[in-house]
Amino acid sequence: RPHFQIGGEGAGYKFGRHEDGSPLTKHQFWTVTTRALAKLGLSGVRFGTHSFRIGAASTAAALGYSPPDIQRLGFLVIAERKRVLICGHSFVFWAAHRASGTALGSQLGLSQWATIEWQGRHGLLWEGLLPLLFQGPPRMPPDVLVVHLGGNDLGFLNKPLARQVIDDLQVIKERWPGVSIIWSAMIPRKVWLDVLNPKRNNRALRNINKNIKNFLDTGLGRFLPHPCIKPHCMEVFGPDGVHLSEQGNDIFLEDIRQGLQEALGLSVGASA
């Protein structure tokens, strides 16, 4: 309730601000709203922050506030930064761990434009993606979704992997129509566990990536390649030949960073 009080000490409205005067973020606003909706027995799927933001700004404008004043009061601050969700298997987990120890940090130097959330799960299979995104408490749809997944499934799905990926990405688009999807290409490995012929798996992986890219190019999303991570480059892999080394993770993170810059409409090299 304190977030929505009007009046009190200081000038004007306090809508969308904490008690210390700092603006309420989009994620914080949505979290409070969905909890309130749940108590009313309503689903958060039918609601979004857009109407609140535009409604508050319109009211302020009608009362004579200038655009700079409206932004200063916090009505439009919640719209400034995009919400990015990066999800996948252990590659994502270790990339997040590596990022937190670099100068760019877990936000990849993009904190001025985006809030990045990492969800990496060890051993995650493709069938776990939709439950990861849609089961549990309602979540606010991200503006950008980066998916790095599928490598653990190669050769183990009843349905061809490329077909399964495309079908589920379409489901995500139906559930979150406004989301921008980035498919992070599956990475070839020096070693494939329980596989006698790793070159065969790597060839299959390249074909799957190609099929997914062709479909994404129709407008479903963006394809993010990792051209500098190759199975013959010993230095990019850790001792197990599966996971990436620190150098490999740095390359992986830079690829993701550049992909996000493009998705956010930033020039490559921009940082906060």
Mean pLDDT, the chain cut into blocks of 10 residues (272 residues total): 46 54 65 76 59 61 68 53 95 96 94 94 95 89 96 75 94 95 94 78 91 93 96 91 94 97 82 62
Q: How far apart are CA 130 and CA 42, in angstroms?
A: 22
Residue 271 located in a structural domain: no
Q: Do 158 and 93 share a structural domain? A: yes
Query: Which of 78, 98, 117 is the last residue in one of the domains?
Result: 78
Long-range pairs for 122-125: beta carbons < 8 A, 24 or more residues apart? 122/89, 122/90, 122/93, 123/89, 123/90, 123/152, 124/88, 124/89, 124/90, 124/149, 124/152, 125/89, 125/152, 125/153, 125/156
- pTM for this predicted structure: 0.71
Residue 272 located in a structural domain: no
Residue of 84, 81, 142, 144 lying closest to 113 (CA atoms): 81
Query: Which of 23, 53, 78 is the last residue in one of the domains?
Result: 78
Q: Do 188 and 200 share a structural domain? A: yes
* Inter-residue contact 138 to 175 (CB < 8 Å): no
Q: Do 90 and 64 share a structural domain? A: no
Q: How far apart are CA 245 and CA 247, in angstroms?
A: 5
Q: For residue 98, what pLDDT is reported?
A: 96
Q: For residue 78, what pLDDT is reported?
A: 46
Residue 268 located in a structural domain: no
For residue 205, the enclosing domain spans: 81-263
